[in-house]
Amino acid sequence: MNFNNKVVLVTGAGSGIGAAIAKGFSENSAKLSLIDINEENLDKTVEACKAKKVEVIKIIADLTKDEDVKRTIDSTVRKFDRIDIVVNCAGICGSGSILDPNLLQKFDETIAINLRTAIVVTNNVAPHLIESKGNLINISSICATLTTKYMVPYNVAKAGLTHFTKSAALELADYGVRVNCISPGYVKTPFMLNSGISDNYIDAALKACAHIVPLKRVLEPEEIAAMALFLASDKASGITGADYAVDGGLLLTGLNALSEHKFY
């Protein structure tokens, strides 16, 4: 695939899946606008992408602030004069039990980052995608479909993101803009660690995956990136409103084996 002269905006590009997606586009000649709240992490991604001899703009932003979203998009258009592809990947691992006295605080934080930021970014960037006849990809989770204990905020936020994808796809199809969703299973990223989940739980969860994932392994971020590049390409020109699980077959077996590992 070749994204020569295509401008790609990736949120959550500092690590994990977002970083892998950014690097994947850089390997295919795209111009990049990379966004994250963590400058140290984002610098590593930017450096790796620039090594591929592509143009990159780095934007440090808190996407829960509407003014930062507007600044991000304005800065990208000012630099590249257009936006062709958007990947909403910013997110946290929002754990929380129904019985947790701080549940609503965790819920509000998770919804703000995992769901609202994608909606605000889409709302602000849609006119540019209409102009470029571009496309947008949301990174959701199989937790939008499956349910496990102690993950109320995350499950609800990802379910909302997947349904928002379909709503946006239906509206923007009138303008030739495609909107799709990727739902990863367990992936080797700093995602859970960065959210303060205990090392013991992470180790237990990864070991449990060896038993319940049909492919008997945790996925690599690059495998999610490969799907993102496909959906963003002309090869997927007939696909919109779709939700692709990249999960090693986990949807076939469910998450019940992990539900007893309480980590909140």
Paired with 184 in beta bridges are 246
According to CATH, what is the number of the domain 7-259? 3.40.50.720
The pLDDT of residue 261 is 45
At 182 the pLDDT is 99
Contact call for residues 126 and 76 (beta carbons, < 8 A): no
pLDDT on residue 264: 35
* Per-residue pLDDT, 256: 56
One-letter amino acid of 81: D
What six digits make up the tokens of 39? Answer: 């400058």
186 assigned to active site: no
Q: Is 103:155 a contact under the CB 8 Å cutoff?
A: no
Would residue 227 be called left, alpha or beta, if left means φ above 0 and alpha means ψ between -120 and 50 degrees? alpha
Contact predicate 188/20, CB 8 Å = no
Pick the catalytic residue from 150, 154, 244, 264: 154
210 neighbors 6 (Cβ within 8 angstroms)? no
CA distances from 50 to 102, 134, 140, 234 (A): 42, 23, 27, 24
Predicted pLDDT of residue 131: 99
Average pLDDT of each block of 10 consecutive residues along the chain (264 residues)? Answer: 96 98 99 98 99 99 99 99 99 92 97 99 99 99 90 97 99 99 90 58 70 88 98 99 96 66 41
What is the arrangement of strands in the sheet containing 31-36, beginning at the earlier edge strand?
A: 56-60, 31-36, 7-11, 85-88, 135-139, 178-184, 243-246
Q: Domain locations in the chain?
A: 7-259
The amino acid at residue 205 is A
> Could you tell me if 76 and 31 are in contact, meaning their C-beta atoms sit under 8 angstroms apart?
no
